[in-house]
Structure 1
Amino acid sequence: MKKTRSLGADHPVVRMLAPVRGVMQSFGTALATPTEPGAPLLAEARTRWLRLLPYGVAFAFVASLLPSTIAVLMNDYQVNGGLAGALATAQSAPLLLAVTRPLQAWWIIGTADVVGALVMLAADGLDGRPWPWTPPVVIGYLALMLALGLRESRRALLGVWLVTGAAGFVLNAVAPENTGGIHVLLFVLSGVALLVMATLRERGDAERRSAAERARSTLLEERARIARELHDIVAHHMSVITVQADSAPYRIPDLPEAAREEFTSIAASARESLAEMRRLLVVLRSEGAEGERAPQPGLGWVQQLIEATVRAGVPAQLSFSAELAARLGDVPQAVDLSAYRIVQEALANVVRHAPGAETRVSVTSDDDWLTVLVVNGPVAARTSPLEGGTGTGHGLVGMRERVRLTGGTLDTGPLPDGGFRVAARLPLTSKGTL
């Protein structure tokens, strides 16, 4: 028996067919992706031509069915020209509406098809011709079933199918001598079309749910991994720092009072960092928002940041407007936390890159905006920064992301005297949002 050899990926035929296969995959994915009611079919497609494809197909059906239906009604069934034009328009033009609202289009087309059957029954050219549905009616109706199957629920599709069959069988009972079984053919074909399209749509739904579950599982795994690394590395070292700072006065004899206070300050800062780390770990390890119930820092904690910065050797001053202090409880939570984090990151940058530089922090507000300004002067003496290199720049990126999420603005950059400036404007009300 001769074995067949499969074509490899580098085969010329495979390479030539690759674009076609990609287009078919994109079309299949878009076709199986459900859209919201009122949105066009294939609205979620990635390429523009796929999004326009339903309109092109609907227009092609209307352009072909409208004149053919008029010709069939006038020439074969001897229907009056004006009446034939009106019926043909009502039976075919709503296919354009089916791109966005197929159920509404079905009501119009279904009614027009039944009215057309009654008109043909009273016409002079019915003998020996298909009734109650003409061939153009069958083609247009099946095209409508394809659009319905991709959009409507199973209950709605079952109702449409049963009404289609009922209308055909009732008309057959009215004039059984004129029917040739075309009502049965339409009933069967419309059921097949609705079943195929509904199955395709439900398969797309299942694939989307599966993809969402996989993405959620991956996210939870990544969050758990980050939580483990934070706990194993950062939290461990912070705990060691806390223990060493607390035990230093007992381990080192004759320690000066200033050094004792410094070690106490280091231990307090380490414990505060550990507390924030634990809150972050709760958020990362929780599937929902349980971790967010822990108290979050805000503008009321900025004074503690200033005190910690001063203990780190940076002369920092805080200016807090009386108007803002009076309405501190009315500041939106997202803005409150973002303002605190911006000040925290700006002061941390000063400690790391400009140790000893005089720093001013100003937090003010008006009716709609909160303004945060952190300005540090040049380094007083030639000292090496606490971190070598130019840094990753993640701090400024984080600031910009926080400000963007709240709808504010951020301005950062060096000053002519060698210092640095961080200025953020955050909206206090929806009116202030950009």
Structure 2
Amino acid sequence: MTSGQRLDLLVVFVSLVLYAIAWPTLQVTHHVPAGVQPVIAGLAALPLLLIRANPALGWAISAAGALVIPIVYERTGDFDFPWQVVHVMVIMALLLAVSMRAPLPVVAVAWMSTSLLFLADAPGQDGRGWAFGLTVLVLFGLLIRWLVLSRRQLAQQEEVNEVERARRAILEEKARIARDLHDVVAHHMSLVVVQAQSAPYRIDGVSPEAKAEFESIGATAREALNEIRGMLGVLRSDGQLAENAPVPGIGRIDELIEGSRRAGMAVSIERSALPTAMPDTAGLAIYRILQESLSNAARHAPGAAVRVTLTGEDASTVLTVTNAAPPGAPAPATGRSGGHGIIGMQDRALSVGGTLTAITTPDGGFEVRARIPTAPAGSEAHIAPA
């Protein structure tokens, strides 16, 4: 049994006890016909049953009974108070519950109405004392209410702080991993650059073609190393924010194409009606999608020609990367390797409000088409089945 259920049982028990007291003693305080006594006793004691479920409704019933009973039924000669003691106890308990739980306008109405009721019906000058006591009771209930509310807010704030501490710990661990990744990758990529640049001097009889290939490897490795340092190197500096780090954009498309050509790919590019200015996020998305598309074409269609087009349409820039079928036997087209390249490009386009489709062309090649808006939009990215 829960604590709430135990409290409900206690309320029912107390209400029944008070009812058992109010019914037999009603004839001592008021001239009430015997057949009506159970109802009048119920009005005095049973509204207490609502103290947890709806204290405002319970108070309203009890106050209405307190207003009507002195008017309808006369008091006995030995009793000059307008209500039974049970009735007074119940209405005070309900007023306290209202002040602790009901909206503040309801609290104000209940306090004023109850005070006026006692001022009007209490004998002699007792009404003033009762009104003062009821005011103290309401203030006490409000004090408890605000204390409980402040403790609840404090508990919620502590929970938020705990979540924030956990989140900060995760971010710190991710930053540490990123720094380690930067150190490891930067070290090995630096070795690749040094070996590629020094190979023609360390190895005798290197042909001009092999020397050009070594230079291409070194240039590609340097470019990759620069990007890694741009993305992860900022983690080693407390004074530089990641968003201030230089990021590639549409202005570096030619470098990307040239790097692919140095790697032996036959890449052509066409541009038309491009906007004069473009948000950094849109430029970065176009750059990364083109980078991934060229990488996929090199892996899955080696030797195939690749055509890149960049076209400005309305408020968007359309990037299309099409590779022909690979020479010889048909090979899996771009994006069908089971990896995450297409999904990553989809997420990249979606992050700036763009769309992306990836389809197999009729000649066995593959085409990636991305539409990137020059301003954020609410469209969703879609992937066509490959």
Normalising by the residue count of structure 2, what TM-score does the alignment of the two structures yield? Answer: 0.69
Choose the corresponding residue for 2:341, options 385, 391, 395. Answer: 395
Displacement of 1:370 after TM fit?
A: 1.6
User: Relative to 1, partners in 2 of residues 1:76 and 1:244: Cα closer, same or farther, differing over 3 Å?
Assistant: farther
Determine the structure 1 residue equivalent to 2:203: 252
Residues 323-338 of structure 1 correspond to what in structure 2 (within 5 A)?
A: 323-324=273-274, 327-328=275-276, 330-338=277-285
Is 1:242 the equivalent of 2:184? no
Is 1:198 the equivalent of 2:150? yes
User: Relative to 1, partners in 2 of residues 1:241 and 1:188: Cα closer, same or farther, differing over 3 Å?
Assistant: same
Choose the corresponding residue for 1:112, options 97, 109, 112. Answer: 109
1:304-339 CA-partner distances (Å, limit 9, x unpaired): 111111222221111111x21xx34x2111111011
8 Å Cα contact 2:196-2:217 kept in structure 1: yes
Structure 1 counterpart SS, 2:144 = helix
User: Relative to 1, partners in 2 of residues 1:226 and 1:431: Cα closer, same or farther, differing over 3 Å?
Assistant: closer
* C-alpha separation in 2, matches of 1:283 and 1:77: 83
Determine the structure 1 residue equivalent to 2:247: 296
* C-alpha separation in 1, matches of 2:347 and 2:122: 72
* C-alpha separation in 2, matches of 1:424 and 1:353: 20
Q: Single out whichever of 181-190 and 195-204 deviates more from structure 2.
A: 181-190
Is 1:75 the equivalent of 2:69? yes
Is 1:419 the equivalent of 2:371? no
* C-alpha separation in 1, matches of 2:377 and 2:180: 42
User: Relative to 1, partners in 2 of residues 1:189 and 1:60: Cα closer, same or farther, differing over 3 Å?
Assistant: closer
Determine the structure 1 residue equivalent to 2:160: 208
1:126 maps to a residue whose letter is A
1:26-69 CA-partner distances (Å, limit 9, x unpaired): xxxxxxxxxxxxxxxxxxxxxxxxxxxxxxx9984455444444
8 Å Cα contact 2:355-2:379 kept in structure 1: no
Residues 239-318 of structure 1 correspond to what in structure 2 (within 5 A)?
A: 239-285=190-236, 290-318=241-269
Task: State the superposition RMSD in angstroms.
Answer: 3.6
* C-alpha separation in 2, matches of 1:281 and 1:226: 7
Is 1:371 the equivalent of 2:318? yes
8 Å Cα contact 2:111-2:134 kept in structure 1: no
Determine the structure 2 residue equivalent to 1:222: 174
* C-alpha separation in 1, matches of 2:124 and 2:353: 72
* C-alpha separation in 2, matches of 1:129 and 1:353: 99
2:349 maps to a residue whose letter is V
User: Relative to 1, partners in 2 of residues 1:229 and 1:431: Cα closer, same or farther, differing over 3 Å?
Assistant: closer
* C-alpha separation in 1, matches of 2:162 and 2:378: 41
Larger Rg: 2
Determine the structure 2 residue equivalent to 1:158: none
Determine the structure 2 residue equivalent to 1:126: 122
8 Å Cα contact 1:246-1:267 kept in structure 2: yes
User: Relative to 1, partners in 2 of residues 1:180 and 1:293: Cα closer, same or farther, differing over 3 Å?
Assistant: closer
Residues 90-109 of structure 1 correspond to what in structure 2 (within 5 A)?
A: 105-106=103-104, 108-109=105-106
Sequence identity (%): 33
* C-alpha separation in 2, matches of 1:288 and 1:66: 64
1:400 maps to a residue whose letter is Q
8 Å Cα contact 2:310-2:319 kept in structure 1: yes
* C-alpha separation in 2, matches of 1:242 and 1:384: 32
Displacement of 1:376 after TM fit?
A: 0.8
Choose the corresponding residue for 2:133, options 181, 188, 205. Answer: 181
Displacement of 1:112 after TM fit?
A: 2.4
Determine the structure 2 residue equivalent to 1:164: none
Aligned length: 308
8 Å Cα contact 2:310-2:320 kept in structure 1: yes
Determine the structure 2 residue equivalent to 1:12: none
Structure 1 counterpart SS, 2:318 = strand
Structure 2 counterpart SS, 1:181 = helix
Choose the corresponding residue for 1:340, options 262, 287, 309. Answer: 287
User: Relative to 1, partners in 2 of residues 1:120 and 1:67: Cα closer, same or farther, differing over 3 Å?
Assistant: closer
Displacement of 1:121 after TM fit?
A: 5.5
8 Å Cα contact 1:312-1:351 kept in structure 2: no
User: Relative to 1, partners in 2 of residues 1:418 and 1:71: Cα closer, same or farther, differing over 3 Å?
Assistant: farther
* C-alpha separation in 1, matches of 2:169 and 2:344: 26
Residues 79-90 of structure 1 correspond to what in structure 2 (within 5 A)?
A: none
User: Relative to 1, partners in 2 of residues 1:400 and 1:431: Cα closer, same or farther, differing over 3 Å?
Assistant: closer
User: Relative to 1, partners in 2 of residues 1:66 and 1:398: Cα closer, same or farther, differing over 3 Å?
Assistant: farther
Q: Which runs of 5+ in 2 are unaligned?
A: 4-50, 73-93, 381-386
